[in-house]
Structure 1
Protein backbone atom coordinates (compact mmCIF):
# COMPACT_ATOMS: atom_id res chain seq x y z
CA UNK A 1 0.00 0.00 0.00
CA UNK A 2 1.48 3.31 -1.08
CA UNK A 3 2.20 5.80 1.67
CA UNK A 4 0.63 9.20 1.42
CA UNK A 5 3.05 12.12 1.38
CA UNK A 6 2.91 14.37 4.42
CA UNK A 7 1.40 17.70 3.33
CA UNK A 8 3.83 20.60 3.37
CA UNK A 9 2.78 23.30 5.81
CA UNK A 10 2.59 26.81 4.48
CA UNK A 11 1.86 30.19 6.01
CA UNK A 12 -1.28 32.05 4.97
CA UNK A 13 -3.07 35.35 5.44
CA UNK A 14 -6.32 35.47 7.33
CA UNK A 15 -9.33 37.32 6.03
CA UNK A 16 -9.10 41.08 6.03
CA UNK A 17 -10.43 42.83 9.13
CA UNK A 18 -13.72 44.52 8.38
CA UNK A 19 -14.87 45.29 4.83
CA UNK A 20 -11.87 45.28 2.50
CA UNK A 21 -11.50 48.67 0.78
CA UNK A 22 -12.14 48.92 -2.95
CA UNK A 23 -8.72 50.46 -3.47
CA UNK A 24 -6.03 49.38 -1.03
CA UNK A 25 -3.29 51.94 -0.48
CA UNK A 26 -1.58 50.48 2.62
CA UNK A 27 -1.36 47.13 4.38
CA UNK A 28 -0.78 46.08 7.98
CA UNK A 29 0.31 42.50 8.58
CA UNK A 30 -0.50 41.40 12.14
CA UNK A 31 1.96 38.93 13.63
CA UNK A 32 0.70 37.05 16.72
CA UNK A 33 2.94 35.62 19.42
CA UNK A 34 4.54 32.20 19.27
CA UNK A 35 6.91 29.92 21.15
CA UNK A 36 10.66 29.67 21.28
CA UNK A 37 10.64 26.05 20.08
CA UNK A 38 7.64 24.21 18.67
CA UNK A 39 6.71 22.34 15.50
CA UNK A 40 2.99 22.35 16.31
CA UNK A 41 0.52 24.15 14.09
CA UNK A 42 -0.90 27.32 15.71
CA UNK A 43 -4.59 27.71 16.35
CA UNK A 44 -6.02 30.18 13.80
CA UNK A 45 -8.71 31.26 16.26
CA UNK A 46 -6.27 31.98 19.08
CA UNK A 47 -3.91 33.78 16.71
CA UNK A 48 -6.66 36.04 15.42
CA UNK A 49 -7.95 36.70 18.93
CA UNK A 50 -4.56 37.89 20.16
CA UNK A 51 -4.36 40.70 17.59
CA UNK A 52 -8.07 41.35 16.97
CA UNK A 53 -8.22 44.53 19.05
CA UNK A 54 -5.21 46.02 17.29
CA UNK A 55 -6.48 45.05 13.85
CA UNK A 56 -9.92 46.54 14.41
CA UNK A 57 -8.47 49.78 15.79
CA UNK A 58 -6.13 50.20 12.82
CA UNK A 59 -8.79 49.44 10.21
CA UNK A 60 -11.20 51.87 11.83
CA UNK A 61 -8.53 54.58 11.82
CA UNK A 62 -7.42 53.93 8.23
CA UNK A 63 -10.63 52.98 6.46
CA UNK A 64 -10.87 56.28 4.57
CA UNK A 65 -7.29 55.95 3.30
CA UNK A 66 -7.76 52.37 2.05
CA UNK A 67 -6.06 50.32 4.77
CA UNK A 68 -6.19 46.52 4.63
CA UNK A 69 -5.15 44.47 7.68
CA UNK A 70 -4.54 40.71 7.80
CA UNK A 71 -3.42 38.27 10.46
CA UNK A 72 -0.45 36.14 9.43
CA UNK A 73 -1.09 32.47 10.23
CA UNK A 74 2.28 30.81 10.74
CA UNK A 75 3.10 27.33 9.54
CA UNK A 76 4.19 26.37 13.07
CA UNK A 77 4.21 27.94 16.53
CA UNK A 78 7.95 28.00 17.10
CA UNK A 79 10.78 30.36 16.20
CA UNK A 80 13.00 27.28 16.21
CA UNK A 81 16.50 28.69 16.43
CA UNK A 82 18.30 29.48 13.21
CA UNK A 83 15.24 28.37 11.22
CA UNK A 84 13.50 31.57 12.37
CA UNK A 85 10.22 30.21 11.03
CA UNK A 86 8.08 33.13 12.21
CA UNK A 87 10.36 35.71 10.56
CA UNK A 88 10.35 33.73 7.32
CA UNK A 89 6.56 33.56 7.42
CA UNK A 90 6.42 37.33 7.97
CA UNK A 91 8.60 37.87 4.89
CA UNK A 92 6.37 35.53 2.91
CA UNK A 93 3.34 37.54 4.05
CA UNK A 94 4.94 40.76 2.78
CA UNK A 95 5.48 39.06 -0.59
CA UNK A 96 1.84 37.98 -0.58
CA UNK A 97 0.66 41.51 0.22
CA UNK A 98 2.58 42.79 -2.81
CA UNK A 99 1.11 40.05 -4.98
CA UNK A 100 -2.44 40.91 -3.90
CA UNK A 101 -2.30 44.68 -3.69
CA UNK A 102 0.65 45.83 -5.76
CA UNK A 103 3.18 48.49 -4.82
CA UNK A 104 1.71 49.71 -1.53
CA UNK A 105 3.54 50.37 1.76
CA UNK A 106 3.43 47.57 4.31
CA UNK A 107 3.67 47.80 8.10
CA UNK A 108 4.56 44.72 10.12
CA UNK A 109 2.88 44.83 13.54
CA UNK A 110 3.82 42.06 15.93
CA UNK A 111 3.08 41.09 19.52
CA UNK A 112 5.39 39.00 21.75
CA UNK A 113 7.34 36.60 19.48
CA UNK A 114 5.53 38.22 16.57
CA UNK A 115 7.31 41.44 17.51
CA UNK A 116 10.65 39.71 17.00
CA UNK A 117 9.41 38.36 13.66
CA UNK A 118 8.38 41.87 12.59
CA UNK A 119 11.77 43.30 13.50
CA UNK A 120 13.64 40.55 11.65
CA UNK A 121 11.49 40.78 8.52
CA UNK A 122 11.49 44.58 8.50
CA UNK A 123 14.11 44.62 5.76
CA UNK A 124 11.64 43.39 3.14
CA UNK A 125 11.58 45.91 0.30
CA UNK A 126 7.81 46.49 0.63
CA UNK A 127 7.99 47.19 4.38
CA UNK A 128 8.35 50.82 5.44
CA UNK A 129 7.58 50.44 9.15
CA UNK A 130 7.50 48.06 12.09
CA UNK A 131 5.47 48.00 15.31
CA UNK A 132 6.70 45.64 18.04
CA UNK A 133 4.51 45.37 21.14
CA UNK A 134 6.05 43.61 24.15
CA UNK A 135 8.50 41.89 21.81
CA UNK A 136 10.18 38.66 22.85
CA UNK A 137 13.92 39.08 22.35
CA UNK A 138 16.75 36.77 23.39
CA UNK A 139 19.57 37.74 25.71
CA UNK A 140 21.78 40.13 23.75
CA UNK A 141 25.11 39.35 25.39
CA UNK A 142 26.00 36.54 22.98
CA UNK A 143 28.52 38.14 20.61
CA UNK A 144 28.30 35.17 18.27
CA UNK A 145 24.73 35.85 17.19
CA UNK A 146 23.34 39.24 18.24
CA UNK A 147 19.89 40.23 17.02
CA UNK A 148 20.26 41.92 13.61
CA UNK A 149 19.46 45.63 13.27
CA UNK A 150 20.79 46.74 9.87
CA UNK A 151 17.68 45.47 8.08
CA UNK A 152 15.76 48.31 9.76
CA UNK A 153 17.71 51.09 8.08
CA UNK A 154 15.20 53.32 6.28
CA UNK A 155 12.22 51.99 8.25
CA UNK A 156 10.28 53.70 11.01
CA UNK A 157 10.09 51.60 14.13
CA UNK A 158 7.84 51.74 17.19
CA UNK A 159 8.43 49.54 20.23
CA UNK A 160 6.04 49.47 23.20
CA UNK A 161 6.75 47.57 26.41
CA UNK A 162 5.24 47.34 29.87
CA UNK A 163 7.73 47.93 32.67
CA UNK A 164 6.30 45.04 34.73
CA UNK A 165 6.29 42.52 31.88
CA UNK A 166 6.69 39.07 33.41
CA UNK A 167 7.16 37.18 30.09
CA UNK A 168 9.38 39.34 27.88
CA UNK A 169 12.14 41.44 29.43
CA UNK A 170 11.60 45.18 28.78
CA UNK A 171 15.30 45.84 29.38
CA UNK A 172 16.14 43.69 26.35
CA UNK A 173 13.85 45.71 24.09
CA UNK A 174 15.51 48.89 25.38
CA UNK A 175 18.97 47.56 24.58
CA UNK A 176 17.78 46.43 21.17
CA UNK A 177 16.22 49.82 20.43
CA UNK A 178 19.48 51.51 21.43
CA UNK A 179 21.33 49.37 18.91
CA UNK A 180 18.79 50.16 16.21
CA UNK A 181 19.11 53.88 16.98
CA UNK A 182 22.79 53.74 16.04
CA UNK A 183 21.94 52.82 12.45
CA UNK A 184 18.46 54.34 12.14
CA UNK A 185 17.30 57.48 13.93
CA UNK A 186 13.62 56.79 13.11
CA UNK A 187 13.02 54.51 16.06
CA UNK A 188 11.08 55.25 19.22
CA UNK A 189 10.17 53.17 22.22
CA UNK A 190 7.43 53.82 24.79
CA UNK A 191 7.32 52.37 28.30
CA UNK A 192 3.95 51.62 29.87
CA UNK A 193 4.65 52.02 33.56
CA UNK A 194 3.29 49.35 35.91
CA UNK A 195 1.69 47.38 33.06
CA UNK A 196 2.41 43.71 32.43
CA UNK A 197 2.88 41.60 29.31
CA UNK A 198 -0.68 41.86 28.01
CA UNK A 199 -0.77 45.65 28.49
CA UNK A 200 -4.39 45.33 29.62
CA UNK A 201 -4.23 48.15 32.15
CA UNK A 202 -3.53 50.77 29.46
CA UNK A 203 -4.95 48.95 26.45
CA UNK A 204 -6.73 51.97 24.95
CA UNK A 205 -3.59 54.09 25.16
CA UNK A 206 -1.46 51.39 23.52
CA UNK A 207 -3.92 50.87 20.67
CA UNK A 208 -4.24 54.63 20.12
CA UNK A 209 -0.47 55.00 20.04
CA UNK A 210 -0.13 52.20 17.50
CA UNK A 211 -2.87 53.68 15.32
CA UNK A 212 -1.32 57.14 15.45
CA UNK A 213 2.05 55.72 14.38
CA UNK A 214 0.68 53.49 11.61
CA UNK A 215 -1.48 56.23 10.08
CA UNK A 216 1.59 58.46 10.00
CA UNK A 217 4.00 55.97 8.43
CA UNK A 218 1.57 54.52 5.87
CA UNK A 219 -0.46 57.57 4.88
CA UNK A 220 1.57 60.59 5.92
CA UNK A 221 -0.76 61.80 8.65
CA UNK A 222 0.89 64.05 11.20
CA UNK A 223 2.16 62.24 14.26
CA UNK A 224 0.88 63.17 17.69
CA UNK A 225 3.24 65.30 19.76
CA UNK A 226 4.46 62.38 21.94
CA UNK A 227 5.45 60.35 18.86
CA UNK A 228 7.13 63.38 17.25
CA UNK A 229 9.08 64.02 20.44
CA UNK A 230 10.10 60.38 20.80
CA UNK A 231 11.37 60.16 17.22
CA UNK A 232 13.34 63.38 17.59
CA UNK A 233 14.79 62.74 21.05
CA UNK A 234 18.27 61.24 21.42
CA UNK A 235 18.73 58.05 23.46
CA UNK A 236 18.04 57.16 26.14
CA UNK A 237 15.21 59.71 26.35
CA UNK A 238 13.59 58.75 23.05
CA UNK A 239 13.77 55.08 24.00
CA UNK A 240 12.27 55.38 27.48
CA UNK A 241 9.32 57.61 26.70
CA UNK A 242 6.44 57.07 29.14
CA UNK A 243 3.05 56.43 27.58
CA UNK A 244 0.81 58.98 29.20
CA UNK A 245 -2.57 58.00 30.59
CA UNK A 246 -5.35 59.36 28.43
CA UNK A 247 -3.32 59.24 25.20
CA UNK A 248 -6.17 57.52 23.35
CA UNK A 249 -8.78 60.02 24.55
CA UNK A 250 -6.67 62.91 23.29
CA UNK A 251 -6.89 61.54 19.72
CA UNK A 252 -10.65 60.98 19.58
Structure 2
Protein backbone atom coordinates (compact mmCIF):
# COMPACT_ATOMS: atom_id res chain seq x y z
CA UNK A 1 0.00 0.00 0.00
CA UNK A 2 1.35 3.43 -0.93
CA UNK A 3 1.55 6.02 1.88
CA UNK A 4 -1.25 8.57 1.98
CA UNK A 5 0.64 11.19 3.97
CA UNK A 6 4.25 12.35 4.16
CA UNK A 7 5.63 13.56 7.48
CA UNK A 8 8.78 15.59 8.05
CA UNK A 9 10.03 15.66 11.64
CA UNK A 10 12.15 18.76 12.27
CA UNK A 11 14.50 18.91 15.27
CA UNK A 12 15.43 22.06 17.10
CA UNK A 13 18.72 23.90 17.16
CA UNK A 14 19.90 27.28 18.34
CA UNK A 15 20.03 30.90 17.25
CA UNK A 16 23.66 31.09 16.05
CA UNK A 17 25.98 28.12 15.64
CA UNK A 18 28.03 26.57 12.86
CA UNK A 19 28.65 23.44 14.91
CA UNK A 20 27.94 20.45 12.66
CA UNK A 21 24.53 18.94 13.28
CA UNK A 22 24.76 15.49 14.83
CA UNK A 23 22.04 12.81 14.86
CA UNK A 24 23.12 12.18 18.47
CA UNK A 25 22.67 15.70 19.84
CA UNK A 26 19.84 16.31 22.30
CA UNK A 27 17.62 18.15 19.82
CA UNK A 28 17.71 15.19 17.41
CA UNK A 29 17.36 12.56 20.14
CA UNK A 30 14.22 14.15 21.57
CA UNK A 31 12.48 13.87 18.18
CA UNK A 32 13.19 10.17 17.49
CA UNK A 33 10.26 9.03 19.70
CA UNK A 34 7.94 11.13 17.51
CA UNK A 35 9.41 9.67 14.33
CA UNK A 36 9.26 6.08 15.59
CA UNK A 37 5.79 6.29 17.15
CA UNK A 38 4.28 7.79 13.99
CA UNK A 39 5.86 5.06 11.83
CA UNK A 40 4.60 2.34 14.17
CA UNK A 41 1.10 3.72 14.70
CA UNK A 42 0.39 4.49 11.03
CA UNK A 43 2.45 1.76 9.37
CA UNK A 44 1.87 1.72 5.62
CA UNK A 45 -0.16 4.95 5.72
CA UNK A 46 2.69 7.40 6.22
CA UNK A 47 6.22 8.05 4.98
CA UNK A 48 8.14 9.63 7.88
CA UNK A 49 11.54 11.30 7.60
CA UNK A 50 13.43 12.98 10.43
CA UNK A 51 15.39 15.80 8.85
CA UNK A 52 19.10 16.36 9.48
CA UNK A 53 20.54 19.83 8.98
CA UNK A 54 24.18 20.62 8.14
CA UNK A 55 24.76 22.91 11.14
CA UNK A 56 23.08 23.36 14.51
CA UNK A 57 22.15 27.07 14.21
CA UNK A 58 19.63 29.22 12.37
CA UNK A 59 22.33 31.84 11.75
CA UNK A 60 20.34 34.96 11.01
CA UNK A 61 19.48 35.68 7.39
CA UNK A 62 21.28 32.52 6.31
CA UNK A 63 18.39 30.45 7.73
CA UNK A 64 20.83 27.54 7.66
CA UNK A 65 18.37 24.66 8.28
CA UNK A 66 15.97 25.75 5.55
CA UNK A 67 18.17 24.42 2.73
CA UNK A 68 18.08 20.91 4.16
CA UNK A 69 14.42 21.08 5.14
CA UNK A 70 13.39 22.21 1.65
CA UNK A 71 15.50 19.42 0.14
CA UNK A 72 13.73 16.93 2.43
CA UNK A 73 10.35 18.28 1.31
CA UNK A 74 11.35 17.77 -2.32
CA UNK A 75 12.63 14.23 -1.58
CA UNK A 76 9.35 13.37 0.11
CA UNK A 77 7.36 14.74 -2.82
CA UNK A 78 9.52 12.88 -5.35
CA UNK A 79 9.19 9.56 -3.46
CA UNK A 80 5.43 10.01 -3.19
CA UNK A 81 4.10 12.09 -6.09
CA UNK A 82 1.02 14.09 -5.17
CA UNK A 83 1.13 13.12 -1.49
CA UNK A 84 0.14 15.78 1.07
CA UNK A 85 2.80 16.53 3.69
CA UNK A 86 2.74 17.31 7.40
CA UNK A 87 5.58 19.11 9.17
CA UNK A 88 6.26 18.55 12.87
CA UNK A 89 8.86 20.78 14.47
CA UNK A 90 10.23 21.41 17.95
CA UNK A 91 11.76 24.77 18.90
CA UNK A 92 13.84 25.92 15.90
CA UNK A 93 12.23 23.04 14.02
CA UNK A 94 8.90 24.76 14.65
CA UNK A 95 10.25 27.83 12.90
CA UNK A 96 11.42 25.64 10.01
CA UNK A 97 7.98 23.98 9.89
CA UNK A 98 6.15 27.31 9.69
CA UNK A 99 8.34 28.49 6.83
CA UNK A 100 7.98 25.19 4.95
CA UNK A 101 4.22 25.62 5.27
CA UNK A 102 4.24 28.44 2.75
CA UNK A 103 4.28 25.49 0.29
CA UNK A 104 0.76 24.32 -0.59
CA UNK A 105 1.85 20.67 -0.47
CA UNK A 106 2.03 21.08 3.30
CA UNK A 107 -1.43 20.45 4.76
CA UNK A 108 -0.55 20.33 8.45
CA UNK A 109 1.82 22.03 10.88
CA UNK A 110 2.46 20.77 14.41
CA UNK A 111 4.59 23.19 16.42
CA UNK A 112 6.05 21.83 19.65
CA UNK A 113 7.28 24.77 21.77
CA UNK A 114 8.02 26.51 18.46
CA UNK A 115 10.53 29.32 18.10
CA UNK A 116 8.08 31.75 16.52
CA UNK A 117 9.61 34.91 17.94
CA UNK A 118 9.85 36.42 14.48
CA UNK A 119 6.19 35.97 13.48
CA UNK A 120 7.10 32.92 11.42
CA UNK A 121 3.47 31.79 11.63
CA UNK A 122 2.73 34.41 8.97
CA UNK A 123 4.46 32.14 6.44
CA UNK A 124 1.83 29.39 6.88
CA UNK A 125 -0.63 29.28 3.98
CA UNK A 126 -4.31 29.56 4.76
CA UNK A 127 -5.26 26.01 3.80
CA UNK A 128 -3.04 24.26 6.35
CA UNK A 129 -4.27 22.89 9.67
CA UNK A 130 -2.11 24.11 12.55
CA UNK A 131 -1.68 22.86 16.10
CA UNK A 132 0.83 24.40 18.50
CA UNK A 133 1.67 23.18 21.99
CA UNK A 134 3.71 25.16 24.50
CA UNK A 135 4.56 24.61 28.14
CA UNK A 136 3.97 27.39 30.63
CA UNK A 137 7.40 26.74 32.25
CA UNK A 138 9.33 27.05 28.97
CA UNK A 139 12.22 29.46 29.53
CA UNK A 140 13.75 29.04 26.05
CA UNK A 141 10.95 29.97 23.64
CA UNK A 142 7.90 32.09 24.41
CA UNK A 143 4.51 30.47 25.00
CA UNK A 144 2.78 33.86 24.77
CA UNK A 145 4.26 34.38 21.30
CA UNK A 146 3.00 30.98 20.18
CA UNK A 147 -0.48 31.79 21.50
CA UNK A 148 -0.36 35.15 19.69
CA UNK A 149 0.59 33.39 16.46
CA UNK A 150 -2.32 30.98 16.73
CA UNK A 151 -4.72 33.86 17.47
CA UNK A 152 -3.47 35.67 14.37
CA UNK A 153 -3.82 32.56 12.22
CA UNK A 154 -7.37 32.02 13.44
CA UNK A 155 -8.21 35.64 12.65
CA UNK A 156 -7.05 34.90 9.08
CA UNK A 157 -9.47 31.97 8.95
CA UNK A 158 -6.82 29.26 9.36
CA UNK A 159 -7.83 26.06 11.17
CA UNK A 160 -5.46 26.67 14.07
CA UNK A 161 -5.47 25.56 17.70
CA UNK A 162 -3.25 26.27 20.71
CA UNK A 163 -2.73 23.86 23.61
CA UNK A 164 -1.11 25.13 26.78
CA UNK A 165 0.77 22.56 28.86
CA UNK A 166 0.75 23.71 32.50
CA UNK A 167 4.25 23.37 33.92
CA UNK A 168 5.63 22.04 30.62
CA UNK A 169 9.30 22.79 29.95
CA UNK A 170 11.12 23.28 26.69
CA UNK A 171 12.84 19.87 26.30
CA UNK A 172 9.46 18.00 26.35
CA UNK A 173 10.75 15.52 28.95
CA UNK A 174 7.66 16.15 31.07
CA UNK A 175 4.03 15.49 30.09
CA UNK A 176 5.40 12.98 27.58
CA UNK A 177 1.97 11.50 26.90
CA UNK A 178 0.61 14.93 25.96
CA UNK A 179 3.50 15.85 23.66
CA UNK A 180 3.60 12.43 21.98
CA UNK A 181 -0.16 11.99 21.92
CA UNK A 182 -0.59 15.34 20.18
CA UNK A 183 1.42 14.09 17.20
CA UNK A 184 -0.51 10.80 16.98
CA UNK A 185 -3.88 12.58 17.24
CA UNK A 186 -2.93 15.33 14.80
CA UNK A 187 -1.72 12.91 12.12
CA UNK A 188 -4.65 10.57 12.75
CA UNK A 189 -7.11 13.41 12.22
CA UNK A 190 -5.49 14.44 8.95
CA UNK A 191 -5.49 10.83 7.71
CA UNK A 192 -9.21 10.55 8.52
CA UNK A 193 -9.87 13.72 6.55
CA UNK A 194 -8.07 12.25 3.51
CA UNK A 195 -10.50 9.32 3.28
Which residue matches 2:99? Answer: 120
**Contact 2:38–2:184 under 8 Å retained in 1:** yes
Matched residue of 2:114: which SS? coil
Q: Which runs of 4+ in 1 moved over 6 A?
A: none
Larger Rg, first or second structure (1 or 2): 1
Question: 2:52 aligned with 1:79, yes or no?
Answer: no
Gaps of 5+ in 1: 1-21, 141-145, 223-252
Which residue matches 1:31? Answer: 10
Q: RMSD of the TM alignment (CA)?
A: 2.0
**Contact 2:85–2:107 under 8 Å retained in 1:** yes
Q: 2:33 aligns with which of 53, 66, 71?
A: 53
1:141-176 CA distances to partner (integer Å, 9 max, x unpaired)? xxxxx5351533100001000011111111111112
TM-score, length basis structure 2: 0.90
Which residue matches 1:160? Answer: 133
For residues 28 and 166 of structure 1, the distance between their equivalents in structure 2, rounded to whole angstroms, comes to 28
For residues 158 and 43 of structure 2, the distance between their equivalents in structure 1, rounded to whole angstroms, comes to 29
Matched residue of 2:24: which SS? helix
Which residue matches 1:201? Answer: 174
Gaps of 5+ in 2: none
Matched residue of 1:45: which SS? coil
Instruction: Tell me the number of residue pairs that the alignment of Structure 1 and Structure 2 aligns.
Output: 194
